[in-house]
């Protein structure tokens, strides 16, 4: 019997189940208590767990994330919520210089099992300071893991896995995914951090995506199917560590690669996906230059049309694939 | 409280940092290090007020806190020489010495960087109903950072068992407290958070010990945090290289006259707890101990180069 619940509910269910099982797990963030979090993710949790475990903080991102890091050194399992991922700048030092580094600089003699959940991404008309996709910053910091589930099923399984992980994990949710429904088993299950998934099989082109835009990739693939092009879609699910093996396997099959990412193009994670292919033996399997569909190199504008203009969309993915298939480059064509 | 042992701790800290200073000058230690010479009474005074199970967080100027907390001199020396047998297996060096399992939650190279962490330790104690205390050491420079405000406020609203110990050694590198603040004391800030604040003579071990004991007891009983400002002075440069351009020789001399070790030793002599000039013997013994530690450390093997790739993730 499929049980359709929303992405929001899936995240909440993972937190709730983990907290029932382990008294050392707690949620801390701004307005996560009676308000239920800015996006309602923790609604109802304070009634079950009380204010000692669903903790409303003052506006102190550095302070409470630092506090969570301290509790993790002491063997607790904190979940910090940053209300909008843009505000992560306020706890950057805590993440980059503390959480990511303590284990290494202490010579492996400490663990920091912190989970930091935060909604990222654009599409809400909230303009430049409430819409960014800054996940690349953290991919660039060894010691942190970065997870970005695109479905309710993955959100639950990856959050439970992140909570088991002895390392700091930045867990990116997407505001436009919160209402998305999907089949999610009630019992606990884990999706390993660092494993991509082939969400649609195809022979003609590999489309690698993550998060919200993974759905753009799937939509595009369905449309392209009507034109006789069968795209294989890879949902990375975790951005760090990145599952290059799954991407390689797919590219070696299709010979063509398109990356779809919501972050800005320059130095975005798509560049890393492509570089890893290009510097490996899989390079020789390519019969076209890889392509990227990414956010434009601009802040996110307020006007809806402007916002849509600079963001990836299913149409832009379709266009990119068509273009890739049109162009005759390389010796294999 | 064994006063003679406290004196020995201070002597050990001083001998350690004087030795490290010397090794830097000779090019035998690399990177950077910040010396605690002059501030010994603060670390020893505060930590002697703690009990088994309490924890501390430290700073870039952390050797004194580590020694006072009881870390092993041999493993500290080995870490400074980058050896595999050091506390961090050669990956941390001077600014990251830690023994998390023992409750020394780490020196920290970011000014103010461990203030949130100390609150976290306090949170864990409070949640578990343990009557333990986290001491957060930091300098006047950290009071200038934003996280100072956040950490003190969080500790205050949640009554966390944290003792904030600001070592006001008059300078943040070259920045004098006289130009960094427009207030007479830093402890005065405490009232803005609704916690007790006290300024104490950081050159007097007994006075530091007393205020720290009170603050620790308050925290243990669920009474929340205290901000202690210990007025002290660092004798040596900010770090290994410092031409003292921002202060005068006279000023340094004036402070040296109030030396915390000499001060405490003569106090003990007066009380008859120490023979006249016995402390010179103790000083000699401390220096020997440090010599031995660095000698042993220098014979330790280097870490394998490949170990640089380990411990990024657990
Ligand atoms: C965030 C940050 N800014 C600047 C520095 C460089 N720095 C290291 S120590 C220091 C002065 C710190 O002064 P204080 O906190 O009073 O401690 P003290 O050195 O006097 O012990 C500075 C500027 C740093 N390590 N971290």
* Residue B299 burial by Cβ neighbours in a 10 Å radius (0-12, 13-18, 19+): exposed
Question: What 3-state DSSP class applies to A32?
Answer: coil
The conformation of residue B302, written as its DSSP 8-state character, comes to: P
Q: Residues A180-206, buried b or exposed e (16+ Cβ, 10 A)?
A: bebebeeeeebbebbebbebbebebbb
Whether a cis peptide bond, with omega within 30° of 0, leads into A241 is yes
pLDDT higher than threshold 70 for residue A331: no
Question: Catalytic residue positions of A?
Answer: 130
Whole-number pLDDT of residue A1: 73
Nearest residue in chain B measured CA to CA from A164: B314
Q: φ and ψ at A171, to 5 degrees?
A: -110, 105
Q: Is the pLDDT of residue B177 over 60?
A: yes
Residue with tokens 């009507």: A226
- Using one digit for the tens of pLDDT, what is the confidence trace for A256-292? 999 999 999 999 999 999 999 999 999 999 999 999 9
Give a yes or no: residue B107 inside a domain: yes
B314 assigned to some structural domain? no
Which tokens is B288 given? 């020997």
Could you identify the residue written with the tokens 């004036």? B254
Fold of A2-185: Rossmann fold (3.40.50)
- B141 in ligand 1 pocket by Cβ < 6 Å? yes
Residue B125 lies in a domain: yes
| Cα–Cα distance for residue pair A116/B126, rounded to 1 Å | 22
- At B242 the pLDDT is 83
Q: How confident is the model at residue B240 (pLDDT cuts 50, 70, 90)?
A: confident
Q: What percent of chain B has pLDDT over 70?
A: 100
pTM for this predicted structure: 0.96
Element holding A271 (H helix, E strand): helix A269-278
Q: What is the pLDDT of residues A171-187, one digit of tens each?
A: 999 999 999 999 999 99
Q: What is the pLDDT of residue A328?
A: 61
Question: Quick one: pLDDT at residue A333?
Answer: 41
Does A332 have pLDDT greater than 60?
no
Closest ligand 1 atom to the C-alpha of B145?
1
Query: Alpha carbon A306 to chain centroid distance?
Result: 24
Helices (H), chain B: 3-25, 40-47, 63-69, 73-80, 115-128, 140-143, 146-157, 177-180, 190-193, 205-220, 249-256, 260-270, 278-298
Q: How far is the CA of B58 from the centre of ligand 1 (A)?
A: 12
- SS3 at position B260: helix
CA atoms within 13 A on the CB side of A135: 35
Of B91, B119, B127, the CB nearest to A66: B119
Q: Chains A, B: CB contacts under 8 A, how many? A: 144
The CA distance from A77 to B121, in Å, is 13
pLDDT one-digit tens code per residue, B159-168: 999 999 999 9
Tokens of B97: 């010495």
Residues A40-64, mean pLDDT to the nearest whole number? 98
Q: Are A2-185 and A197-325 in the same CATH fold?
A: yes
Q: Is there a contact between A70 and B147 if contact means CB atoms under 8 Å apart?
A: no
Q: Which pLDDT belongs to residue B1?
A: 81
ipTM value: 0.96
The verdict on the CB of residue B115 being under 6 Å from ligand 1 is: no
What gap in Å lies between CA A240 and CA A237, rounded to an integer? 9
**pLDDT band at residue B126 using 50, 70 and 90 as cut-offs:** very high
d(CA B142, CA A132): 30
* Average confidence score pLDDT of chain A: 97
Domain annotation covers residue B192: yes
Ligand 1 centre from B167 Cα, in Å? 12
Domain that holds residue B195: 3-297
Average pLDDT, chain B: 97
Q: Do B313 and A97 touch (CB under 8 A)?
A: no
As a whole number of angstroms, the distance between CA A290 and CA A213 comes to 18
Could you confirm whether domain A197-325 is CATH 3.40.50.920? yes
Q: Is residue A204 helix, strand or coil? A: coil
CA distance A83 to B284: 57
Count the residues in chain B.
314
Mean pLDDT score, A126-137: 97
Domain residue limits, chain A: 2-185, 197-325
CA distance B245 to chain A (A): 30
Q: Is A228 on the interface with B (CB under 8 A)?
A: no
Q: Mean pLDDT across the stretch A162-176? A: 98
Atom of ligand 1 nearest to the CA of A93: 1
Tell me the β-bridge partners of B166: B138, B229
Mutation site for A-interface testing, chosen from B80, B119, B157, B222 by largest number of A Cβ within 10 Å? B119
**Cross-strand bridge partners of residue A264:** A295
The whole-angstrom separation of Cα A193 and Cα A76 is 20
Specify the CATH number for the domain of residue B289: 3.40.50.970
Number of domains present in the structure of chain B: 1
Q: Give dist(CA B182, CA A20) in Å, integer.
A: 50
The proportion of chain B whose per-residue pLDDT surpasses 90, expressed as a percent, equals 95
Contact between residue B229 and residue B185 where contact means Cβ atoms under 8 Å apart = yes
When CB atoms are compared, the residue of A69, A108, A111 closest to B117 is A69
Contact A71, A114 (CB under 8 A): no
Helix, strand, coil tally for chain A in percent (to 5): 40, 20, 40
Q: Is the pLDDT of residue A330 over 50?
A: no
Ligand 1 binding pocket includes B19 (Cβ within 6 Å): no
- Token pair belonging to A220: 């595009």
B264 within domain boundaries: yes
Q: Is there a contact between B312 and A76 if contact means CB atoms under 8 Å apart?
A: no
Q: Does B127 touch chain A (CB under 8 A)?
A: yes
User: Which A-chain residues 10-39 have CB contacts (< 8 A) with chain B?
Assistant: 26
Residues 9 through 38 of chain B touching chain A, CB cutoff 8 Å = none
């Amino acid at each position: 019997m499929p049980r359709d619940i929303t992405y929001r509910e899936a995240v909440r269910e993972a937190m709730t189940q983990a907290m029932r099982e382990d008294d050392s797990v707690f949620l801390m963030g701004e307005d996560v208590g009676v308000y239920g979090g800015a996006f309602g993710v923790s609604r109802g949790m304070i009634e079950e767990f009380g204010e000692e475990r669903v903790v409303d903080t003052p506006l102190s991102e550095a302070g409470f994330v630092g506090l969570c890091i301290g509790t993790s050194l002491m063997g607790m399992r904190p979940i910090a919520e940053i209300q909008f991922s843009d505000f992560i700048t306020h706890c950057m030092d805590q993440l980059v210089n503390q959480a990511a580094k303590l284990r290494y600089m202490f010579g492996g003699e400490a663990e920091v099992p912190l989970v930091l959940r935060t909604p990222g991404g654009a599409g809400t008309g909230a303009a430049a300071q409430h819409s960014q996709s800054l996940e690349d910053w953290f991919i660039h910091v060894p010691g942190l893991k970065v997870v970005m589930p695109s479905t309710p099923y993955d959100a639950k399984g990856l959050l439970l896995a992140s909570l088991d992980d002895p390392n700091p994990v930045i867990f990116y949710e997407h505001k436009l995914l919160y209402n998305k429904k999907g089949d999610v088993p009630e019992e606990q299950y884990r999706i390993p951090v660092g494993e991509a998934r082939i969400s649609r099989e195809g022979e003609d082109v590999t489309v690698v995506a993550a998060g919200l835009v993974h759905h753009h990739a799937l939509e595009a693939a369905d449309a392209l199917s009507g034109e006789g092009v069968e795209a294989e879609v890879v949902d990375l699910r975790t951005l760090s560590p990145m599952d290059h093996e799954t991407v390689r396997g797919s590219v070696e099959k299709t010979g063509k690669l398109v990356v779809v990412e919501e972050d800005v193009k320059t130095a975005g994670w798509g560049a890393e996906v492509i570089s890893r292919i290009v510097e490996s033996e899989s390079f020789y399997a390519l019969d076209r230059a890889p392509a990227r569909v990414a956010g434009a190199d601009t802040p996110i504008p307020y006007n809806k049309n402007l916002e849509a203009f600079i963001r990836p969309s299913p149409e832009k993915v379709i266009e990119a694939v068509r273009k890739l298939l049109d162009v005759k480059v390389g010796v294999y064509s | 409280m064994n006063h003679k042992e406290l004196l020995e701790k201070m002597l050990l800290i001083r001998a350690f940092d004087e030795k490290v200073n010397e090794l830097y000058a000779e090019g035998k230690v690399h990177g950077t290090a910040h010396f605690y010479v002059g501030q010994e009474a603060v670390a020893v005074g505060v930590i002697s007020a703690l009990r088994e199970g309490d924890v501390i967080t430290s700073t870039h100027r952390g050797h004194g806190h580590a020694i006072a907390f009881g870390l092993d001199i041999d493993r500290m020396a080995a870490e400074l020489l980058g050896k595999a047998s050091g506390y961090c297996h050669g990956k941390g060096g001077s600014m990251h010495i830690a023994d998390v399992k023992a409750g020394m939650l780490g020196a920290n190279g970011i000014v103010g960087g461990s203030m949130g962490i100390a609150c976290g330790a306090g949170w864990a104690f409070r949640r578990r109903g343990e009557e333990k205390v986290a001491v957060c050491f930091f300098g006047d420079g950290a009071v200038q950072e934003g996280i100072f405000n956040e950490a003190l406020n969080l500790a205050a609203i949640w009554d966390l068992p944290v003792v904030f110990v600001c070592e006001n050694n008059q300078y943040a590198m070259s920045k004098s407290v006289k130009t960094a603040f427009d207030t007479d004391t830093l402890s005065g800030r405490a009232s803005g958070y609704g916690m007790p604040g006290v300024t104490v003579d950081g050159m007097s071990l007994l006075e530091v010990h007393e205020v720290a004991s009170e603050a620790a007891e308050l925290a243990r009983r669920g009474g929340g945090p205290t901000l202690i400002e210990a007025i002290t002075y660092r004798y040596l440069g900010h770090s290994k290289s410092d031409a003292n351009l921002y202060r005068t020789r006279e000023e340094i001399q004036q402070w040296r006259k109030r030396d915390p070790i000499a001060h405490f030793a003569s106090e003990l002599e007066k009380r008859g707890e120490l023979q006249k000039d016995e402390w010179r013997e103790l000083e000699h013994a401390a220096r020997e101990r440090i010599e031995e530690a660095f000698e042993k450390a220098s014979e330790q093997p280097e870490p394998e180069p490949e170990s640089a790739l380990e411990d990024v993730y657990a």
